[in-house]
Structure 1
Amino acid sequence: MKSVAQILKGKQIQSIHTIAPEDTVLDALRQMAEKNVGALPVTDVDGRLVGIVSERDYARKVVLQGRSSIGTPVSAIMTSAVITVDPRQDIKECMQLMTERHLRHLPVIEEGRLIGLLSIGDLVKEINAEQESLIQHLEGYIRGE
Protein backbone atom coordinates (compact mmCIF):
# COMPACT_ATOMS: atom_id res chain seq x y z
CA MET A 1 0.00 0.00 0.00
CA LYS A 2 1.33 3.41 -0.98
CA SER A 3 2.31 6.08 1.49
CA VAL A 4 1.00 9.64 1.57
CA ALA A 5 4.39 10.82 0.25
CA GLN A 6 4.10 8.51 -2.77
CA ILE A 7 0.59 9.76 -3.53
CA LEU A 8 1.72 13.39 -3.33
CA LYS A 9 4.59 12.69 -5.73
CA GLY A 10 2.16 11.15 -8.21
CA LYS A 11 -0.29 14.05 -8.19
CA GLN A 12 -0.33 16.04 -11.42
CA ILE A 13 -0.64 19.36 -9.62
CA GLN A 14 2.11 19.74 -7.05
CA SER A 15 1.35 23.27 -5.84
CA ILE A 16 -0.50 23.91 -2.61
CA HIS A 17 -3.08 26.66 -2.71
CA THR A 18 -3.50 28.39 0.64
CA ILE A 19 -5.29 31.42 2.04
CA ALA A 20 -4.64 33.76 4.95
CA PRO A 21 -7.02 33.93 7.93
CA GLU A 22 -7.64 37.65 7.40
CA ASP A 23 -8.68 37.21 3.75
CA THR A 24 -12.41 37.34 3.10
CA VAL A 25 -14.64 34.37 2.50
CA LEU A 26 -15.28 35.80 -0.98
CA ASP A 27 -11.51 35.65 -1.65
CA ALA A 28 -11.51 32.01 -0.58
CA LEU A 29 -14.48 31.16 -2.80
CA ARG A 30 -12.89 32.86 -5.78
CA GLN A 31 -9.64 30.99 -5.26
CA MET A 32 -11.41 27.64 -4.81
CA ALA A 33 -13.37 28.22 -8.03
CA GLU A 34 -10.28 29.38 -9.94
CA LYS A 35 -8.17 26.43 -8.78
CA ASN A 36 -11.06 23.95 -8.96
CA VAL A 37 -10.57 22.78 -5.36
CA GLY A 38 -13.06 22.23 -2.55
CA ALA A 39 -10.90 23.41 0.35
CA LEU A 40 -7.96 25.64 1.15
CA PRO A 41 -5.48 25.27 3.98
CA VAL A 42 -5.36 28.48 6.01
CA THR A 43 -1.82 29.57 6.84
CA ASP A 44 -0.40 32.41 8.92
CA VAL A 45 2.33 34.83 7.81
CA ASP A 46 4.99 32.26 8.75
CA GLY A 47 3.35 29.60 6.57
CA ARG A 48 2.08 27.55 9.52
CA LEU A 49 -1.23 25.75 9.16
CA VAL A 50 -3.84 27.43 11.38
CA GLY A 51 -7.00 26.01 9.83
CA ILE A 52 -8.78 24.79 6.75
CA VAL A 53 -11.74 26.35 4.95
CA SER A 54 -14.01 24.33 2.69
CA GLU A 55 -17.14 24.67 0.62
CA ARG A 56 -18.89 22.87 3.47
CA ASP A 57 -17.76 25.59 5.91
CA TYR A 58 -19.13 28.21 3.54
CA ALA A 59 -22.51 26.50 3.24
CA ARG A 60 -22.92 25.90 6.95
CA LYS A 61 -21.30 28.98 8.46
CA VAL A 62 -22.03 31.71 5.93
CA VAL A 63 -25.08 30.85 3.83
CA LEU A 64 -27.13 29.19 6.57
CA GLN A 65 -26.20 31.82 9.14
CA GLY A 66 -26.95 34.77 6.86
CA ARG A 67 -23.39 36.13 6.88
CA SER A 68 -21.81 38.12 4.08
CA SER A 69 -19.03 36.59 1.99
CA ILE A 70 -17.60 40.03 1.40
CA GLY A 71 -17.12 41.17 5.00
CA THR A 72 -16.51 37.87 6.76
CA PRO A 73 -12.87 36.85 7.29
CA VAL A 74 -11.85 33.27 6.62
CA SER A 75 -10.85 32.97 10.29
CA ALA A 76 -14.51 33.30 11.29
CA ILE A 77 -15.62 30.19 9.41
CA MET A 78 -12.51 28.01 9.08
CA THR A 79 -12.07 24.76 10.95
CA SER A 80 -9.29 25.43 13.45
CA ALA A 81 -8.86 21.94 14.87
CA VAL A 82 -7.36 20.55 11.68
CA ILE A 83 -6.72 16.83 11.43
CA THR A 84 -3.48 16.24 9.54
CA VAL A 85 -1.44 13.30 8.33
CA ASP A 86 2.25 12.54 8.08
CA PRO A 87 3.88 11.65 4.72
CA ARG A 88 4.78 8.20 6.07
CA GLN A 89 1.18 7.18 6.72
CA ASP A 90 -0.50 4.87 4.23
CA ILE A 91 -3.69 5.11 2.21
CA LYS A 92 -5.60 2.75 4.48
CA GLU A 93 -4.93 4.93 7.54
CA CYS A 94 -6.01 8.05 5.62
CA MET A 95 -9.22 6.45 4.36
CA GLN A 96 -10.08 5.25 7.84
CA LEU A 97 -9.47 8.73 9.26
CA MET A 98 -11.52 10.41 6.56
CA THR A 99 -14.38 7.96 6.98
CA GLU A 100 -14.48 8.13 10.78
CA ARG A 101 -14.18 11.94 10.93
CA HIS A 102 -16.31 12.68 7.83
CA LEU A 103 -13.44 14.54 6.12
CA ARG A 104 -12.88 15.28 2.47
CA HIS A 105 -9.42 16.83 2.76
CA LEU A 106 -6.30 16.00 4.76
CA PRO A 107 -3.41 18.44 5.02
CA VAL A 108 -0.03 16.71 5.01
CA ILE A 109 2.45 18.05 7.57
CA GLU A 110 6.15 17.24 7.75
CA GLU A 111 8.33 18.75 10.46
CA GLY A 112 5.62 21.33 11.22
CA ARG A 113 5.39 22.44 7.59
CA LEU A 114 2.47 22.01 5.17
CA ILE A 115 3.73 19.94 2.23
CA GLY A 116 0.51 18.89 0.56
CA LEU A 117 -3.22 18.34 0.66
CA LEU A 118 -4.94 15.03 -0.02
CA SER A 119 -8.55 14.85 -1.11
CA ILE A 120 -10.88 11.90 -0.82
CA GLY A 121 -10.70 11.76 -4.64
CA ASP A 122 -6.92 11.33 -4.53
CA LEU A 123 -7.29 8.34 -2.23
CA VAL A 124 -10.15 6.73 -4.14
CA LYS A 125 -8.19 7.07 -7.38
CA GLU A 126 -5.16 5.39 -5.80
CA ILE A 127 -7.17 2.58 -4.22
CA ASN A 128 -8.87 1.89 -7.56
CA ALA A 129 -5.47 1.73 -9.30
CA GLU A 130 -4.14 -0.68 -6.66
CA GLN A 131 -7.21 -2.91 -6.97
CA GLU A 132 -6.96 -2.93 -10.77
CA SER A 133 -3.31 -3.93 -10.53
CA LEU A 134 -4.14 -6.74 -8.10
CA ILE A 135 -6.93 -8.01 -10.38
CA GLN A 136 -4.58 -8.08 -13.37
CA HIS A 137 -1.95 -9.90 -11.33
CA LEU A 138 -4.46 -12.50 -10.13
CA GLU A 139 -5.87 -13.00 -13.64
CA GLY A 140 -2.33 -13.58 -14.90
CA TYR A 141 -1.69 -16.05 -12.10
CA ILE A 142 -4.89 -17.96 -12.93
CA ARG A 143 -3.89 -18.12 -16.60
CA GLY A 144 -0.46 -19.41 -15.59
CA GLU A 145 1.47 -16.37 -16.78
Structure 2
Amino acid sequence: MRVSDVFRSTNKIIQVDGRAALRVAIRLMREHNVGALLVRSDGTCSTRLLSERDVIDALAARGSAVLEEYVDNVVPAGCISCRPDDPIHHVMREMTQHRVRHLPVQDGSDVVGILSIGDIIKAQLDTMSLENRILREEVILKQAGKC
Protein backbone atom coordinates (compact mmCIF):
# COMPACT_ATOMS: atom_id res chain seq x y z
CA MET A 1 0.00 0.00 0.00
CA ARG A 2 1.23 3.48 -0.88
CA VAL A 3 0.40 7.00 0.31
CA SER A 4 -1.63 7.54 -2.88
CA ASP A 5 -3.83 4.58 -1.87
CA VAL A 6 -4.58 6.17 1.50
CA PHE A 7 -4.46 9.87 0.89
CA ARG A 8 -7.55 11.56 -0.45
CA SER A 9 -6.31 14.33 -2.73
CA THR A 10 -9.73 15.96 -2.42
CA ASN A 11 -8.89 16.87 1.18
CA LYS A 12 -8.71 20.61 1.56
CA ILE A 13 -5.40 21.83 2.92
CA ILE A 14 -6.03 24.19 5.82
CA GLN A 15 -3.32 26.84 5.97
CA VAL A 16 -2.35 29.56 8.38
CA ASP A 17 -0.15 32.58 7.81
CA GLY A 18 3.07 32.44 9.81
CA ARG A 19 2.44 36.03 10.95
CA ALA A 20 -0.97 35.15 12.43
CA ALA A 21 -1.36 34.91 16.18
CA LEU A 22 -1.29 31.38 17.55
CA ARG A 23 -4.87 31.82 18.83
CA VAL A 24 -5.96 32.26 15.17
CA ALA A 25 -4.30 28.96 14.25
CA ILE A 26 -6.01 27.21 17.16
CA ARG A 27 -9.38 28.58 16.03
CA LEU A 28 -8.72 27.28 12.49
CA MET A 29 -7.87 23.83 13.81
CA ARG A 30 -11.12 23.76 15.78
CA GLU A 31 -13.30 25.16 12.97
CA HIS A 32 -11.98 22.62 10.46
CA ASN A 33 -11.59 19.73 12.92
CA VAL A 34 -7.95 19.13 11.98
CA GLY A 35 -4.89 18.38 14.07
CA ALA A 36 -2.34 20.23 11.91
CA LEU A 37 -2.11 23.26 9.66
CA LEU A 38 0.22 24.04 6.78
CA VAL A 39 2.13 27.23 7.60
CA ARG A 40 2.60 29.97 5.00
CA SER A 41 5.41 32.44 5.54
CA ASP A 42 6.03 35.54 3.46
CA GLY A 43 3.08 34.56 1.26
CA THR A 44 4.58 31.23 0.27
CA CYS A 45 3.67 27.73 1.33
CA SER A 46 6.27 25.61 2.98
CA THR A 47 6.32 22.10 4.29
CA ARG A 48 6.18 23.34 7.87
CA LEU A 49 3.24 22.09 9.89
CA LEU A 50 1.80 23.44 13.11
CA SER A 51 0.35 20.55 15.08
CA GLU A 52 -1.74 20.29 18.22
CA ARG A 53 1.35 18.97 19.98
CA ASP A 54 3.31 22.11 19.00
CA VAL A 55 0.56 24.25 20.54
CA ILE A 56 0.56 22.25 23.78
CA ASP A 57 4.37 22.35 23.99
CA ALA A 58 4.40 26.14 23.49
CA LEU A 59 1.69 26.66 26.10
CA ALA A 60 3.50 24.47 28.61
CA ALA A 61 6.82 26.22 28.03
CA ARG A 62 5.70 29.86 27.75
CA GLY A 63 2.23 30.09 29.25
CA SER A 64 -0.90 31.64 27.82
CA ALA A 65 0.95 34.72 26.52
CA VAL A 66 2.14 32.49 23.65
CA LEU A 67 -1.39 32.68 22.21
CA GLU A 68 -0.59 36.20 20.96
CA GLU A 69 2.77 35.21 19.43
CA TYR A 70 3.22 34.60 15.71
CA VAL A 71 2.73 31.06 14.47
CA ASP A 72 6.25 31.36 12.96
CA ASN A 73 7.60 31.61 16.53
CA VAL A 74 5.90 28.36 17.56
CA VAL A 75 6.08 26.07 14.55
CA PRO A 76 9.17 23.81 14.38
CA ALA A 77 11.78 24.84 11.83
CA GLY A 78 12.02 21.54 9.96
CA CYS A 79 9.38 19.16 8.80
CA ILE A 80 9.59 15.73 7.26
CA SER A 81 7.21 14.98 4.41
CA CYS A 82 6.13 12.10 2.22
CA ARG A 83 5.35 11.58 -1.46
CA PRO A 84 2.28 9.95 -3.02
CA ASP A 85 4.38 6.97 -4.18
CA ASP A 86 5.95 6.30 -0.75
CA PRO A 87 5.08 2.93 0.79
CA ILE A 88 2.81 3.25 3.84
CA HIS A 89 5.10 1.07 5.97
CA HIS A 90 7.94 3.57 5.32
CA VAL A 91 5.69 6.52 6.26
CA MET A 92 4.53 4.75 9.42
CA ARG A 93 8.17 4.13 10.40
CA GLU A 94 9.01 7.82 9.84
CA MET A 95 6.00 8.98 11.84
CA THR A 96 6.94 6.67 14.70
CA GLN A 97 10.63 7.60 14.63
CA HIS A 98 9.91 11.34 14.62
CA ARG A 99 6.87 11.04 16.91
CA VAL A 100 4.54 12.95 14.57
CA ARG A 101 0.93 12.29 13.64
CA HIS A 102 0.76 14.40 10.47
CA LEU A 103 2.92 14.65 7.36
CA PRO A 104 2.63 16.96 4.38
CA VAL A 105 2.23 15.05 1.12
CA GLN A 106 4.44 16.58 -1.56
CA ASP A 107 4.21 16.01 -5.29
CA GLY A 108 7.47 17.53 -6.44
CA SER A 109 7.68 20.88 -4.70
CA ASP A 110 3.88 21.19 -4.34
CA VAL A 111 2.17 20.28 -1.09
CA VAL A 112 -0.95 18.39 -2.16
CA GLY A 113 -2.29 17.56 1.28
CA ILE A 114 -1.68 16.45 4.83
CA LEU A 115 -1.66 12.76 5.73
CA SER A 116 -2.66 11.89 9.28
CA ILE A 117 -2.06 8.75 11.27
CA GLY A 118 -5.87 8.47 11.37
CA ASP A 119 -5.95 8.24 7.56
CA ILE A 120 -3.43 5.41 7.71
CA ILE A 121 -5.27 3.51 10.43
CA LYS A 122 -8.58 3.82 8.57
CA ALA A 123 -7.00 2.48 5.37
CA GLN A 124 -5.40 -0.39 7.27
CA LEU A 125 -8.73 -1.28 8.90
CA ASP A 126 -10.55 -1.08 5.56
CA THR A 127 -7.96 -3.41 4.01
CA MET A 128 -8.21 -5.87 6.89
CA SER A 129 -12.00 -5.82 6.70
CA LEU A 130 -11.94 -6.54 2.96
CA GLU A 131 -9.43 -9.37 3.41
CA ASN A 132 -11.51 -10.83 6.24
CA ARG A 133 -14.69 -10.73 4.13
CA ILE A 134 -12.93 -12.41 1.19
CA LEU A 135 -11.55 -15.16 3.43
CA ARG A 136 -14.98 -15.77 4.99
CA GLU A 137 -16.56 -16.02 1.54
CA GLU A 138 -13.91 -18.54 0.47
CA VAL A 139 -14.57 -20.64 3.56
CA ILE A 140 -18.32 -20.55 2.91
CA LEU A 141 -17.80 -21.55 -0.73
CA LYS A 142 -15.49 -24.42 0.26
CA GLN A 143 -17.96 -25.64 2.88
CA ALA A 144 -20.81 -25.47 0.38
CA GLY A 145 -18.80 -27.53 -2.10
CA LYS A 146 -18.23 -30.29 0.46
CA CYS A 147 -21.94 -30.81 1.21
- TM class, shorter-length: 0.7 to 0.9
Measured after TM superposition, the shift of residue 67 of structure 1 is: 4.9
The equivalent of 2:145 in structure 1 is none
Measured after TM superposition, the shift of residue 70 of structure 1 is: 4.2
Q: Deviations over 1:7-66 (max 9, x none)?
A: 223x7x621001111111011001001111111011234543152111111111134322
- Structure 2 counterparts to residues 87-106 of structure 1, below 5 A: 87-106=84-103
Asked if residue 78 in structure 1 is aligned to residue 83 in structure 2, the reply is no
Bigger-Rg structure (1/2): 2
Structure 2: distance between partners of 1:92 and 1:50: 21
The equivalent of 1:121 in structure 2 is 118
Measured after TM superposition, the shift of residue 69 of structure 1 is: 4.0
The equivalent of 1:37 in structure 2 is 34
Aligned length: 142
Structure holding more helix per residue: 2
Asked if residue 61 in structure 1 is aligned to residue 58 in structure 2, the reply is yes
Percent of paired sites with the same residue = 27
Structure 2: distance between partners of 1:40 and 1:128: 25
Q: CA RMSD in A?
A: 1.9
Q: Which residue identity is paired with 1:105?
A: H
Task: Give the gaps of 5 or more residues in structure 1.
Answer: none
Q: Could you tell me which of 123, 131, 135 is aligned with 1:134?
A: 131
TM-score in terms of structure 1 length:
0.87
TM-score in terms of structure 2 length:
0.86
